[in-house]
Amino acid sequence: MLENYLKWDSLFDQAIKEAKEINFEIKTDKVIFTGMGGSYIPGKIAEILDYNVDYRAITGIPRKVDENTTLIAMSYSGTTSETIQAVKEGLEKGSKIVVISSDGNLEKIAEDHKEKIYFIKVKGLSQTRYSFPVLITPLLKILSTVSINKINLDELKEGVIENKEKYKDLGKKLSTKIIGKIPVFYASTYFPIAIRFKQEINENAKSPAFYGEIPEVNHNEVESYVRGKDLLLPIVIGNESIDDVTASVLNAERIIPPSSSKLKNISSLVLLAGLTSIYLADTLKENPEKLNIIPKCRERTSVIFKG
């Protein structure tokens, strides 16, 4: 499955060209992004950038949306129950709604409410996690209308091209160090990337992994290494002073962002997460495509939100 990540430069190229056709402009004071799993993380990663609006990413159904809210709902499959319910909630409350999806019920809902929903149809690869480029790119194009700093989408592709070969090697090394340990990914600015590493290892390698946000972990979680140091493998993502504190205290592995460009760092570090998880899956002889327990959760969740 390694090839699915290694073709991200061409996938970003495709997504950047298609994003030029997006003409939605945010005109509200508040923007809420909602998605689940691999369709949540693009919205969370977008929090790394700075905006002229109140922007936040959540999972599930937002508690407070109104006419002054732009609700951006992402579900690659278009069938995620929680995200569908969130869109229905947004419609009921009169929010401005953007839906990003490849198919499914969300496309039908958008078709039925053309006057209220701006629909962006995307086409990626077989799994949501492989399709990150086609999800993050249109989202950032929309958010560029309220970004404090200029968003150059080409930098997403450049980050992959510049770091692909280096990260193939680093991914192998990280996966080797993870064997026999439970990795815990820590970060401050790049905290959403820590979440992504955890997701990838969970789903591709079928293995436990966790994350923590710096500096919060320095006030409690670090103490757990008194008993957990032989079990846990701390990995710190970032090179800020506060990241150095956590890394030095825990003698952690380091992942240093390769660029001064946040966009290049986003695409390349997410690529590294995918590569690392695939190398780990290969070592553990796990099939990244096979889902063992997730389908049971989806089936039972859909019953809750039915109707």
Q: What is the pLDDT of residues 70-118, one digit of tens each?
A: 999 999 999 999 999 999 999 999 999 999 999 889 999 999 999 999 9
306: in domain: no
* pLDDT at residue 305, rounded to an integer: 75
297: in domain: no
225: in domain: yes
Residues 165-222 pLDDT 10s: 999 999 999 999 999 999 999 999 999 999 999 999 999 999 999 999 999 999 999 9
Q: Are residues 137 and 214 in the same domain?
A: no
Q: Are residues 159 and 265 in the same domain?
A: yes
Catalytic pick among 18, 240, 253, 298 = 298
Q: Are residues 7 and 133 in the same domain?
A: yes
233: in domain: yes
Q: Are residues 93 and 178 in the same domain?
A: no
Q: Which of 100, 126, 149 is the last residue of a domain?
A: 149
* pLDDT greater than 80 at residue 158: yes
Q: Are residues 218 and 265 in the same domain?
A: yes
**Residue 176 is encoded by which pair of tokens?**
């080797």
Q: Are residues 181 and 129 in the same domain?
A: no
> What residue spans of the chain are helical by DSSP H?
2-6, 8-19, 41-45, 81-93, 104-112, 132-143, 154-178, 191-205, 225-228, 241-250, 262-284, 294-305
Give the CATH number of the domain where residue 246 resides: 3.40.50.10490
Catalytic pick among 107, 158, 203, 221 = 203
* pLDDT greater than 80 at residue 150: yes
299: in domain: no
What is the residue-averaged pLDDT of the chain?
96
Q: Are residues 1 and 123 in the same domain?
A: yes
Q: Are residues 1 and 145 in the same domain?
A: yes
Decide if 298 is catalytic: yes
**Residue 170 is encoded by which pair of tokens?**
């680093």
Distance CA 17, CA 96 (A): 25
- pLDDT band for position 307 (50/70/90)? low
Q: Which of 117, 149, 181 is the last residue of a domain?
A: 149
Decide if 203 is catalytic: yes
- Residue 123 structural domain: 1-149
290: in domain: no
* pLDDT at residue 291, rounded to an integer: 82
**Residue 236 is encoded by which pair of tokens?**
């710190």
298: in domain: no
CB 240 within 8 A of CB 134: no
- State mean pLDDT over 31-41: 97
- State mean pLDDT over 54-60: 96
Decide if 219 is catalytic: yes
Tally of structural domains, the chain:
2
**Residue 66 is encoded by which pair of tokens?**
């109104």
Catalytic pick among 3, 21, 63, 219 = 219
302: in domain: no
Percent of the chain with pLDDT over 70: 99
